[in-house]
Chain A
């Protein structure tokens, strides 16, 4: 089985720098240089102090000592610091996901104070853009979306509240342990806090099909999603493997998997919890006002419709409920006093997804299908009236609020007794085995750790017990997993290179002491993300230049030891946001309901949804086109086309790491999209306004805005030659009948503008914005 050997080889290559390509068959046999034990991540975080180094002057923060010690051991010199302009572009993209302005670059370059870097970093950390950028990474893990997924992919109008909660938490530097507790058990721990309840949107974000006819199986799918979410995002554990079979590499049995799942056995989600009085934001008030206007205008129609449905309601509800499969149906038709905890869950679910549409569907069926058992001639006129009213109602659609809600989504439980959890043979729902109680895998918690579970008045308390165990400074995994993720965000890969798996199959850390130092210090400093990131941003390691070095390529080809700063392509959202920002059009509003920017027209047209709602209604407010990407509506079935090819997060599962693939579809999007052309026009206009008529000044400004530097002389001559040539090309078109060109936009003064030259300049701006120097941060 050759592939098994290769499997081992790649694992080694990640930790020890052995080339897979060169000698895959022998690599596995070589002793690894890394002596870290396989189960390192489950051992307590060690108290470590910074090692002694020779080049003491290079050490800015303790991080540097750990990295430098390894480099000195290998005989590799660290790279010199990047110039200040490169540093500020890098740091601004990493901390905010946006570009620095030329003025910010100049101010930093001119800051002669010994605290210049600290001043810059503190400014970056204090900005609300910091929270927007960090939140995006967390939302990747939380498989965040604004819709439910599956075939109808209904809008979840409240989810933005959870998204804003995450942004606000990073901006206020909420202690990470509290952040965890709120998300797993906010409803149990802080039952009076709206914020803590909204936080449970983390659990509630699972993909769901409201149309499911097998509710018992659906419950299992939901619990599976939540268990895998918590295991992967917080504990860096590929726990999902153990659902179908005992984990082959990490010692987690199938039984232990289901014991973990049992912590979530009683979870239900309320997507329609009313906002408490006084808690409404201006957008909520706005929604309520619109909604009230719509309600008032349609009051009579809706009352008539209800009166019609009331006549068939009982039969209609029964008919609808008969669609559920045998075991779900048994629970639904059972008298409430006989309900088991599982029956309670099934009935809660049935009610949560029930709607007036179900009754209307029955009325239609009973009126139209003469061959059907439900046929009732008396219902024909009722259905005709109902349909006429629906048509009438539709005329008022323009009065409906287009976004937002007056409710919030939260997790809760159905009492203090949970439905039982059973082991499932090979993970298949239809094959239940023994029942299990909540417990932690011995691998994580040791053989005899039993969490004390104290029920609250309304719930089992299981999640509180689990949250307290995870969000604990003594937990060997939680802090390590998180600091490793943050590290990977700045340095392309983690200290243990795969941030999604700290288990035995995952690559071992290249700098185990550094990881323990960061994890220990993180907890010691009150689980402060900002303090952690500040230390990284100020380190000499992070400040290094990214210039290629032959000696490093030879000695450390995978750059495990970080003698060079790793350059990286911008992420999907960074590409869009940075261009939008450069164009001067970015609307800096923080938070609020998700927005619907422009979409290719063939996806807007048509009745693209089961329930009659279009997949995407482009916003009528053009400001919505200019919001940061984190506010773009995440429709699970329709990734936003402009950025979909740039490896964004897949909201189906926790997404640990942004891949970098390079494809022609990306080139087509950036080069041909009207949206990007529009930004190029706006950027060209901005440059002309700011730099004046001088071609040199314009070219300088363009490079300063996009790359935080001026073009060198050879670049400049290429750009000038292009402008000349392009103007000729465009001029030639002027002789045709239809002469239209894309010219700079947003200019106050256009009288002196030569349209041919201006159009050539737009083409230049557009081309430069497509270049590698823009798409990468070095």
Chain B
């Protein structure tokens, strides 16, 4: 039997009743746009003109120490080896493992100013530094949590518990897909291991499953079940698809008003196209050697991560809305996997920085030279950062109270810095300027033309939005 969607809409991909009930409040619906709901991934209009088309979300897994990368603290250098003055620790909960207390500076850290903006960069990121004037720093970032997993969840979904939709899922839901042959929301990572906690960080939560991120695994066949079985030839396959179409057409002829049955028929045609378009999108064989080198593919430490970023650019070129890139392990034999430097920060960060510095710089340069930087937003982010005091002598503990993230791309004040941390990099200096994950989400949505307060979904009678009950757009960084 038909259901209400069948009455309301005529063709295309179908969506379940509960989902439809949830569809309506957030986006301006009228009879003209109702047609968009037929296909849950059909492109939808934003609330106001968008500054950007796509987002590349560079999650630095394990939490880099931003006071070792972008947030220069001369006072910390002066006080290194001394106890943290208690005035800096007001109102925060800390651990004492490894002897919290003594301020720590990595021995061979040096700092320089770059570009017209004169932003500071450490000697760990000489390549990113070349793009100083393209970056918009948020040096007053805050979040919740002392363990990676809950803060990673919050970074991606806005909650400390699993189950809310990730930012990418909200964006797919609100804007649909700009290329029906590819998923609108793709997750990339390098290395053998799945990102920690797996799919809860690219889940659609209470949004329909169609909006969840599709993980593109490393290798030539990025999506599960993308390739036809080994023993089936392409002619056999097209014969089978032709028969399937015939049977499904015949079946759905008995239900002329039923769009869901027609949608399923069409999904096989889309799948057939995706079988070609997805491997093509991640195939780097047509990229020049110069481009590959730009992304650090010639260095074993950075080649895995560089490959994911080059893939990210190709996906953005093909209209993918949200590319979530999680840093995996560096491509050399080392105990260092993530940025989580509880001890021996020097070794950890020199390897991790070398893994990401050239690829990220390459991405910025490549996007710029292809004219894509104006319509793309690159977000360099992490679940939290690290403390100015040492842990285990040579490492740093977690710091959710004040750290740096940066953005680059359309609609932003480039070569600009917003907010600051206190003199030692413990906490945000001015609490009024604190930027929580919700604020970052609201700002990303804003750049995509979406009002985070109006991007809503009715879940079990509860109108939900990406920023939960929080969030404000960081207006000061918008161009």
Closest chain B residue to A639, Cβ basis: B199
Closest chain A residue to B228, Cβ basis: A672
Q: Which of A20, A323, A673 contacts B95 (CB 8 A)?
A: A323
Inter-chain contact B25/A661, CB cutoff 8 Å: no
Q: Which of A232, A722, A772 contacts B265 (CB 8 A)?
A: A772
Inter-chain contact A151/B148, CB cutoff 8 Å: yes
Q: Mark A658-696, 1 if CB is under 8 A from B, else 0.
A: 111111111111011110010000000000000000000
A14 to B40, CA, bound (A): 20
Inter-chain contact A232/B251, CB cutoff 8 Å: no
Inter-chain contact A659/B209, CB cutoff 8 Å: yes
Interface residues of B, count at CB 8 A: 119
Q: Mark B254-286, 1 if CB is under 8 A from A, else 0.
A: 111110110111011011011100000000000
List residues of B (236-254) whose CB comes within 8 Å of A's CBs. 236, 239-240, 243-244, 246-248, 250-252, 254
Residues of B within 8 A of A372 (CB): 98, 343, 392-394
Measured between C-beta atoms, what is the minimum distance from A194 to chain B in Å? 30
For A152, A371, A505, A677, which residue has the most chain B Cβ atoms within 10 angstroms? Answer: A371
List residues of A (481-534) whose CB comes within 8 Å of B's CBs. 492-493, 497-498, 500-501, 503-507
For A10, A151, A249, which residue has the most chain B Cβ atoms within 10 angstroms? Answer: A151
Inter-chain contact B271/A369, CB cutoff 8 Å: no
Q: Which of A326, A564, A647, A773 contacts B16 (CB 8 A)?
A: A647
Residues of A within 8 A of B296 (CB): none
Inter-chain contact B247/A771, CB cutoff 8 Å: yes
Decide if A108 is an interface residue (CB 8 Å cutoff): no
Inter-chain contact B267/A663, CB cutoff 8 Å: yes
Inter-chain contact A498/B247, CB cutoff 8 Å: no
Given contacts A660-B16, A763-B240, contact A426 B469 (CB under 8 A): yes
Inter-chain contact A373/B99, CB cutoff 8 Å: yes
Q: Which of B199, B243, B275 contacts A764 (CB 8 A)?
A: B243
Q: Which of A375, A505, A663 contacts B461 (CB 8 A)?
A: A505
A209 to B148, CA, bound (A): 10
Measured between C-beta atoms, what is the minimum distance from B203 to chain A in Å? 7
Main secondary structure of the interface of A (DSSP, over half): loop
Decide if B288 is an interface residue (CB 8 Å cutoff): no
Given contacts A150-B150, A768-B247, contact A661 B228 (CB under 8 A): no
Q: Mark A20-62, 1 if CB is under 8 A from B, else 0.
A: 1111100000000000000000000000000000000000000
Given contacts A371-B394, A729-B236, contact A323 B97 (CB under 8 A): yes
Given contacts A605-B192, A667-B270, contact A722 B239 (CB under 8 A): yes
Interface segment out of the listed B66-74, B128-136, B217-225: B217-225
Decide if A567 is an interface residue (CB 8 Å cutoff): yes
Residues of A within 8 A of B477 (CB): none
Decide if B460 is an interface residue (CB 8 Å cutoff): yes
Residues of A within 8 A of B15 (CB): 659-662
Given contacts A323-B97, A500-B461, contact A771 B251 (CB under 8 A): yes
Inter-chain contact A149/B1, CB cutoff 8 Å: no
Decide if A168 is an interface residue (CB 8 Å cutoff): no
Given contacts A324-B95, A325-B95, contact A548 B231 (CB under 8 A): no
Closest chain B residue to A428, Cβ basis: B144
A751 to B354, CA, bound (A): 63
Inter-chain contact B24/A9, CB cutoff 8 Å: yes
Inter-chain contact A718/B264, CB cutoff 8 Å: no
For A232, A372, A607, A636, which residue has the most chain B Cβ atoms within 10 angstroms? Answer: A372
List residues of A (693-743) whose CB comes within 8 Å of B's CBs. 714-715, 718-719, 722, 725-726, 729-730, 732-733, 740-742
Measured between C-beta atoms, what is the minimum distance from A575 to chain B in Å? 12
Interface segment out of the listed B29-37, B363-371, B414-422: B29-37
Residues of A within 8 A of B94 (CB): 325-326
Measured between C-beta atoms, what is the minimum distance from B466 to chain A in Å? 15
Residues of B within 8 A of A209 (CB): 147, 149-150
List residues of B (458-475) whose CB comes within 8 Å of A's CBs. 458, 460-463, 468-470
Decide if A212 is an interface residue (CB 8 Å cutoff): yes
Residues of B within 8 A of A565 (CB): 1
A771 to B14, CA, bound (A): 16
Inter-chain contact A770/B194, CB cutoff 8 Å: no
Decide if A657 is an interface residue (CB 8 Å cutoff): yes
Inter-chain contact B209/A763, CB cutoff 8 Å: no
Residues of A within 8 A of B250 (CB): 714-715, 718
Given contacts A636-B200, A637-B194, A771-B244, contact A763 B93 (CB under 8 A): no
Residues of A within 8 A of B243 (CB): 718-719, 722, 764, 767
Inter-chain contact A492/B200, CB cutoff 8 Å: no
Decide if A319 is an interface residue (CB 8 Å cutoff): yes
A722 to B19, CA, bound (A): 38
Inter-chain contact A772/B261, CB cutoff 8 Å: yes
Closest chain B residue to A149, Cβ basis: B162
Inter-chain contact A652/B162, CB cutoff 8 Å: yes
Interface segment out of the listed A237-245, A280-288, A291-299, A334-342: A237-245
Inter-chain contact A661/B40, CB cutoff 8 Å: yes
A490 to B21, CA, bound (A): 19
For A13, A607, A650, which residue has the most chain B Cβ atoms within 10 angstroms? Answer: A650
Inter-chain contact B246/A373, CB cutoff 8 Å: no
Residues of B within 8 A of A492 (CB): 3, 17
Residues of A within 8 A of B19 (CB): 659-661
Inter-chain contact A13/B461, CB cutoff 8 Å: no
Inter-chain contact B146/A638, CB cutoff 8 Å: no
Residues of B within 8 A of A557 (CB): 2, 4, 6-8
Inter-chain contact B264/A772, CB cutoff 8 Å: yes
Q: Which of B146, B198, B392 contacts A371 (CB 8 A)?
A: B392
Closest chain B residue to A207, Cβ basis: B162
Decide if A221 is an interface residue (CB 8 Å cutoff): yes
Decide if B235 is an interface residue (CB 8 Å cutoff): yes
Q: Which of A21, A249, A329, A726 contacts B239 (CB 8 A)?
A: A726
Measured between C-beta atoms, what is the minimum distance from B234 to chain A in Å? 10
Residues of A within 8 A of B458 (CB): 7, 10
Closest chain A residue to B343, Cβ basis: A369
Residues of B within 8 A of A23 (CB): 31
Given contacts A151-B148, A547-B254, A664-B274, contact A742 B267 (CB under 8 A): no
Measured between C-beta atoms, what is the minimum distance from A344 to chain B in Å? 20
Given contacts A372-B343, A714-B250, contact A329 B96 (CB under 8 A): yes
Measured between C-beta atoms, what is the minimum distance from B387 to chain A in Å? 13
A507 to B20, CA, bound (A): 13
For B97, B251, B393, which residue has the most chain A Cβ atoms within 10 angstroms? Answer: B97
Residues of A within 8 A of B468 (CB): 244
Q: Which of A224, A674, A729 contacts B233 (CB 8 A)?
A: A729
Inter-chain contact A606/B3, CB cutoff 8 Å: no
List residues of B (438-472) whose CB comes within 8 Å of A's CBs. 454, 456, 458, 460-463, 468-470
Residues of A within 8 A of B235 (CB): 729, 732
Q: Mark A557-589, 1 if CB is under 8 A from B, else 0.
A: 111000011110100000000000000000000
Decide if B227 is an interface residue (CB 8 Å cutoff): yes
Decide if A311 is an interface residue (CB 8 Å cutoff): no
A639 to B196, CA, bound (A): 14
Residues of A within 8 A of B223 (CB): 665, 668
Q: Which of B147, B161, B200, B251 contacts A637 (CB 8 A)?
A: B200
Q: Which of B4, B97, B153, B198 contacts A319 (CB 8 A)?
A: B97
A719 to B29, CA, bound (A): 44
Given contacts A636-B200, A653-B206, contact A553 B257 (CB under 8 A): yes
Residues of B within 8 A of A22 (CB): 31
Inter-chain contact B97/A322, CB cutoff 8 Å: yes
> Can you list 16 contacts pairing A with B, beta carbon distance less than 8 Å?
A3-B26, A10-B24, A209-B149, A213-B147, A326-B93, A371-B394, A498-B21, A564-B2, A606-B192, A615-B194, A644-B209, A645-B209, A659-B19, A665-B271, A671-B240, A771-B248
Given A3-B26, A212-B146, A767-B243, list of 19 further CB < 8 A pairs?
A3-B454, A19-B7, A19-B8, A149-B200, A153-B197, A153-B198, A238-B461, A238-B462, A240-B462, A426-B470, A498-B18, A552-B1, A558-B3, A641-B224, A647-B16, A652-B200, A671-B228, A672-B227, A718-B243
